[in-house]
Amino acid sequence: MINVVGLGYIGLPTALMFAAHGVEVVGTDYNKELVDTLNEGKTTFEEDGLDELFQEAVSKGIRFSHEYQSTDMYIVAVPTPYDKASKKVDASYVVKAVQNVMSVCPKGATVVIESTVSPGTINKYVRPIIESDGFTIGEDINLVHAPERIIPGNMVYELKHNSRTIGADSPEIGEKVKALYSSFCQGEIVVTDIRTAEMTKVVENTFRDINIAFANELAKICRSDNMDVYEIIRIANKHPRVNILTPGPGVGGHCISVDPWFLVGDYPGLANIILAARKINDGMPDFVLERIHDIMKENNMTDVGRVGLYGLTYKENVDDTRESPTLQMLESMERHLCGGQIKVYDPYVKKDLVPNQYHDLDSFLADVDFVVLLVGHDEIRENMDKLKGKIVLDTRHICFLDGTYRL
C-alpha cells in the first residue's frame, strides 16, 4: 500500500493515478475540509480529466484520511515555498510530513519525496529526521526523491506520458521505485542519485524562467522604441535554431516562479543570470500597471473603477491562482494606496479572493470601459466580439480587434 501525503495539485492526481492502475492507496492530508470533500465523492479543484480519474480511483478502492498510515511505501507531495528574505527553500512542510511519517512507519519502508526541493535539501533536512528516530538509511528506511513534471491544465495526460527522474541512494531501490511508477507512467524513467534528481528538477524550471524573461525583456525593449515585439518574434522564430517564447504579464504557479529562487538563495554570486531573469519576470506586473496608466492617460480616463482585469489564475483554463500575476498586480496597487476600485473577473475562480470580483462575464463587461486581458481562458477567446467598443490591453496576444493595445 502507498500512503500519499499531501493531496493538493500534485499529490491528489498522483494518488488517483496509482489507484486507478491497481495500486492500493490511502491519501492523507491535514486539511479536514479537503479530506471530507474527497470522501463525499467530489474533487477539490478543476482539471481536465480529473473527475473521471477520481471516479476510476474510487471504484478501485482509494481511501482518504487525516491519519498517516503504517505501510511500506510513502510518497510525500507537500508544498515547498521559498523564504522571501533568504530566497532559500522553505522545507517546513516536508519536515513536518516526514516527522509524521516516521511516527508510524515500520522498518523496511521507502519514503519518496515528490516535493520539489533545492539541491541538498534532503541531506540537510530529511536524513537527520530519519536518523534521529534511530533508523539507518539504506538498511531500515530507504529514501528516494522523485519530482514530478506536470502542469495544471494537462496533468492527467502528463502524469502518464512525461518522463520522470528517480533519485535514490542505491540503484536497486531506484529500480524498485521505478517499477512502482511504471504502473502508470509510459514515459522514460531515469534512475540517478538524489542530489542530481534535486538539481535536475530545479534546473528545468529555471531554464524555462530564463527563456520567459528574455521574451519579456524583449517586449520592454520593443515598447521603448515603438516596435512590434510579436512580429519580431514571429520572424526570428523562422530561424531553425531560434525559439523565442511569447511575452506575458508575469510568471505564476508554484514551479517556474519559485524554483529559480532556490538556486539564487543557495548559490549567491553565482546564479547571476537566474537572478536577473527572476527580477525581470517579477517586474512584469508593474510593467503592465504602467501600460494601464499610459493607456488611461491616452484615452482621457481617470476612473480606475471603470478598468477591469480579466483573469485571476496564473494560466489559462485552470483554477490555480498561486503566484498569479494578477494577484501580484493587485498587491502592488494596494501598496501604492490605489487598490480596491479596479474590477476583476475570472470564470474559474468561484470564491471571492479580491475586492470587486465578479462571477459573470456579461456583468463584468457592463461595468467597465477598459479591459485588461491577463489570462487566455477559452471563455474570452470564444467571446471576443463582446469586447468591441471597449479599450483593450491584451497581455497574452489573443485579441485581434482593431485598436487593441499590446504589452
Name the residues annotated as catalytic. 201, 255
Please give the Cα distance from 42 to 199 (Å, whole number): 36
Whole-Å CA distances, 147 to 140, 199, 241, 304: 23, 10, 29, 43
Half-sphere exposure of 183 (CA within 13 A, CB side): 17
CA 220 from centroid of its chain's CA atoms? 25
Q: Are 211 and 274 in contact (CB under 8 A)?
A: no
Please give the Cα distance from 323 to 331 (Å, whole number): 11
Residue type at 376 in one-letter notation? G
Residue type at 286 in one-letter notation? D
Helix axes 194-224, 284-298, angle to 10 degrees: 20
Residue of 241, 75, 220, 236 lying closest to 145 (CA atoms): 75
Residue of 84, 112, 88, 118 lying closest to 3 (CA atoms): 112
Residue type at 276 in one-letter notation? A
Please give the Cα distance from 69 to 74 (Å, whole number): 9
Q: Are 126 and 107 in contact (CB under 8 A)?
A: no
Helix (H, G, I), strand (E, B) or coil at 294: helix
Q: Are 249 and 395 in contact (CB under 8 A)?
A: yes
> Quick count: other Cβ atoms within 10 Å of Cβ 102?
19
DSSP strand pairing (73-76 vs 307-310) = unpaired
